[in-house]
Structure 1
Amino acid sequence: MKVNELSACLATSRLYGDGEVEITDLQTDSRRVSPGDLFICLPGHTVDGHKFAPQAVASGASAIVCEHKLELDIPQIVVDDCRFAMSVMSNAFFGSPSSRMRMIGVTGTNGKTTTTYLIERIMQDQNMKTGLIGTIQMRYDGQSYPMSGTTPESLDLQRSLHDMASKGVECCVMEVSSHALQQGRVKGADFRTAIFTNLTQDHLDYHHTMEEYRAVKGLFFSRLGNVISPWKEERKYAVLNADDEASHYFAAQTAAEVITYGIDNNANVRASQISITSKGTFFHVETFKGETDISLRMVGKFNVYNALAAITAALLEDVSLSDIKTSLEAIDGVAGRVESVDEGQEYAVIVDYAHTPDGLENVLRTVCEFATGKVLTVFGCGGDRDRTKRPLMGKIAAKYSDMVFVTSDNPRTEDPGLILKDIEAGLVEDGVTSDRYHMIVDRREAIGKAIEMASSGDVVLIAGKGHETYQLIGGVVHDFDDRIVAKEVIRGRSY
């Protein structure tokens, strides 16, 4: 693709130099530049990509994209916003790969990972080659790739979508984070269906207010398109949670056809007769294409919502309700989501990714429904993140638990002890006495203490990290997996 063709992607771009130069690839990291590449000077949180343009040129870059003309003898595309330009140009460079697949995106505070996994399984069972992009991993064509965040940067996303399409992937299901929406990472992706799970407090360190957080989520639905097509293959759908007030806002933001799901309020896809045990969840579902009973091997009312979202998306892809039922009932669960650690002990140990007030409350409510003994909760809050949720999560943990073990999550660059103090403030404010909680900075020690205290019929909930296999302390990555630690403690415990 030529420089002038990439420049033409943006009406306001200004091209300096030879526009006939051929571009072989796009890069944002000057260390990865090869001869023939286009280097995009991407502004970062701590460093500005413009500073690395000379290094990129020295490595053989054929052209650069920048926000102001640089003193370099090389073709330059000057744009107002390099991040936006990257979204548009990478989509064009890779041939709009998302338009060659059925794109299903899921956004919301909680439930994104589970919902995408459920949809992926349903579509795979239809013999449809399916790709998945999310918090835990990216996977397609029999391969899995670890992820460092929920949604990749636009260049990495378009590169991956191109690879998926070239390998025959027909459907791509992906998590769409608020950060990705704010930063324009998915602007070039052509979604057919956009799903909303729920909106509760999180990321206020980044979005500042719930109103701003909601507005950013709304971008996903407003970008679905502004034309309602009479042709089914061109239609766009907004799948919204009828039991979440934010859905009214999102419905007003989109011209796509709105399809709702829910439990408490009237919806196009609605669950009733919900029964939850320690082994799974039963519910009856009524849809616009029939009704049936479903028995999930996953526990919790929140998983009913996740299943309803997946059911709705699959129905819109013309999967029969009976096939959807078969697929859902065969799924064991999702890594780190109400995941049981079973070593034959007489008490339950559950690991869950719950790291928001709403997420923690949901999983604790579920645990309380099947616990016959005490509930012992181990949790912490991430460093360099929203501090306002810390005391709230402390209150929630104490409300539903008999004993709380406040510990470290991923402290990052913060003092772990101060994070624990922020959480403790919520306990103290609610009058929780010191005999009902322990403050233990070392997460391994906290898990060990909780399991040592457990007896027959009790439930130990280890919340916050779920599938994660590391712990970030002082900027250093340490190997740490709640599930492995719990197994080691259980095996080493004397009965």
Structure 2
Amino acid sequence: MRPLTPANKKLSECARFLEIKIEGDGTVKGISSNSRDLQAGEIFAALPGEKFHGARFASDAASRGSIAILTDAEGSRLIKEAGLNLPILTVDNPRALLGPLASFIYGNPSKAMKIVGVTGTNGKTTTTHLLFQIFRAAGLSAGLIGTVGNQIDGEQFPATHTTPESDELQRIFAVMAERGVQAAAIEVSSHALAQYRVDGTRFATVGFTNLTQDHLDYHGTMENYFAAKSRLFGRDFASQGSIVIDGAFGKKLSEISPFKTKSVSSGKERADWHLSEAIPYEMGYKVSISGPDGISIQGEIPLFGDHNLENALLAISLAHQCGISVHDIKSALPTLRGAPGRLERIDRGQGFIALVDYAHTPDAVRRILSTARNLTKGKVIAVLGCGGDRDSSKRPLMGAALTEGADIPIFTSDNPRSEDPMKIIREMTQGVALSHDARVIVDRREAISEGVRCALEGDVLIVLGKGHETGQEISGTKHPFDDRIVLSELIHS
């Protein structure tokens, strides 16, 4: 995705921005860290990687018309050894400077609109989707960037990461600015913050949902994980924010934030935005919400689950910080819909409730199964696996959450990737007392089929872990697999 009008910066201007000297000049039309995606006149960002250096692709970038290369000392050495005659912008940490440089090249597009960044373990996707809907209901042209995909108003674009690489992100913002987008909501992952992907972005406000165990294979400890998440609450990014304080990490973040934040609570905590009452009805909840300065909102939120009330409350606070009126927020509430693959209902006229959800952390599984329990007086049947080549320490916690929350827990594969699926399941069931109703079925389609077979009138069947995903990765190959389609087909058959 690129703006229709190319960037128009001088290479010498880019060098001055980086506070370095460079020989030669020319017009810079953009910047890309992907040599295969690079267009003539763009700077190629050759970044150091875990397995190899991006400078290895400098020849490919040169053949595509790159005007210069941004890299570090090692990359500069490799480029010179390859005999390439291109200007080199050599800096100590090109990854950290890629976002700010891309923002400079594309004219600081994040300052042309109100951008809201949301971070946290669970709830980012739903919160940003709700915020996007509130923006549009208020009459704004709006953008959305996240796990499920990217949107500009009603037009959708595929996503490769929860948060795009920094050069791609600034290009998306440039396209949004070119199209007159007034407000945008973006999911900001811990990986993105650790890898500087949102550096160079100015946010109107930032939000924090919660922090529970996930990604420890990458961050190592919960303290490191929290440090990565809390980086979004820095003065380089924003000057205000909203924080859900129902968890210990939310409270801690509200205490250490360098700027003022609005507190959000759907529980017993005293907060700026507080859920005073939530009465379940057939489509969701009838709510009473109290806000700062005597704000009071009564209305209907057509979403299931206490966690979604929390997400909605955070979206309301963030929207209000962006200048959306209380009247417009209240008017939007009954029109809100959940994100794809988040408690998504599959209805083929069956007598039981069938749901698909992305829950893939112990806390999310517990919350979702608690929601499922409140939807039925019958049984809760749940299908769950754990991803391969990812944080293995959470597997027994996931297994425990599944067996505690479901009457019929069905252990299966998720995306096993390079791992043995049965090994993953054994780790999920380690130390877990399995009832006689528990099942272990490695094949995911067969596991879902067993769930359908077990479900009777009034029960709830929920398939967890993959949500909106349309493929299953096994031994390096991504096979077509969409839980929603598979579940629908099996119910129908």
User: TM-score band, normalised by the shorter chain?
Assistant: over 0.9
Counterpart in the other structure of 1:140: 152
1:449 pairs with 2:461: no
SS in 1 for 2:429: helix
Question: How far did residue 56 of structure 1 move?
Answer: 2.0
- C-alpha distance in structure 2 between counterparts of 1:120 and 1:431, whole Å: 43
Counterpart in the other structure of 1:184: 196
Counterpart in the other structure of 2:276: 272
- C-alpha distance in structure 1 between counterparts of 2:322 and 2:234, whole Å: 21
Structure 2: which amino acid aligns with 1:17?
A: E
1:67 pairs with 2:72: yes
Structure 2: which amino acid aligns with 1:249?
A: K
1:379 pairs with 2:381: no
Structure 2: which amino acid aligns with 1:431?
A: A
Counterpart in the other structure of 1:281: 285
Mapped contact 1:141–1:167 kept (Cα < 8 A): no
> After the TM superposition, which of the residue ranges 82-91 and 314-323 deviates more from structure 2?
314-323
TM-score of the superposition, structure 2-length normalised? Answer: 0.93
Mapped contact 2:100–2:201 kept (Cα < 8 A): no
Question: Residues 204-238 of structure 1: CA distance to partner in whole angstroms, max 9, x if unpaired?
Answer: 1111110000001110002456xxxxxxxxx8311
1:363 pairs with 2:368: yes
Question: How far did residue 43 of structure 1 move?
Answer: 2.0
Question: How far did residue 278 of structure 1 move?
Answer: 5.7
Question: How far did residue 81 of structure 1 move?
Answer: 1.1
Counterpart in the other structure of 2:425: 420
Question: Residues 171-210 of structure 1: CA distance to partner in whole angstroms, max 9, x if unpaired?
Answer: 1111111010000000110011100001111111111110
- C-alpha distance in structure 1 between counterparts of 2:379 and 2:154, whole Å: 42
- 2:300 corresponds to which of 295, 299, 321: 295
1:404 pairs with 2:409: yes
SS in 1 for 2:185: strand
Counterpart in the other structure of 2:6: none
Mapped contact 1:238–1:251 kept (Cα < 8 A): no
Question: How far did residue 141 of structure 1 move?
Answer: 4.3
Structure 1: which amino acid aligns with 2:434?
A: V
Counterpart in the other structure of 2:16: 8
Structure 2: which amino acid aligns with 1:256?
A: F
Matched positions, count? 476
SS in 1 for 2:243: strand
Question: How far did residue 126 of structure 1 move?
Answer: 1.3
Question: How far did residue 162 of structure 1 move?
Answer: 0.4
- 2:27 corresponds to which of 15, 22, 28: 22
SS in 2 for 1:32: coil
Counterpart in the other structure of 1:57: 62
TM-score of the superposition, structure 1-length normalised? Answer: 0.93
Mapped contact 1:315–1:321 kept (Cα < 8 A): yes
Mapped contact 1:277–1:370 kept (Cα < 8 A): no
Counterpart in the other structure of 2:164: 152
Counterpart in the other structure of 2:3: none
% identical aligned pairs:
39
Counterpart in the other structure of 2:465: 464
- C-alpha distance in structure 2 between counterparts of 1:274 and 1:344, whole Å: 29
Question: Residues 336-391 of structure 1: CA distance to partner in whole angstroms, max 9, x if unpaired?
Answer: 11111111111111111101111100000111112111111101011111001111
- C-alpha distance in structure 1 between counterparts of 2:322 and 2:130, whole Å: 14
Counterpart in the other structure of 2:208: 196
> After the TM superposition, which of the residue ranges 188-197 and 270-279 deviates more from structure 2?
270-279
Where do 1:47-126 residues align within 5 Å? 47-68=52-73, 69-70=76-77, 71=80, 72-126=84-138
Mapped contact 2:30–2:106 kept (Cα < 8 A): no
Counterpart in the other structure of 2:249: 246
- C-alpha distance in structure 1 between counterparts of 2:362 and 2:252, whole Å: 22
Mapped contact 1:129–1:170 kept (Cα < 8 A): yes
SS in 1 for 2:232: helix
Mapped contact 2:277–2:288 kept (Cα < 8 A): yes
Where does the alignment leave 5 or more consecutive residues of structure 2 unmatched? 1-8
Instruction: Classify 1:436/1:223 alpha carbon distance in 2 versus 1 (closer, same or farther; 3 Å).
Output: farther
SS in 1 for 2:36: helix
- 2:315 corresponds to which of 310, 314, 330: 310
CA RMSD of aligned residues (A): 1.6
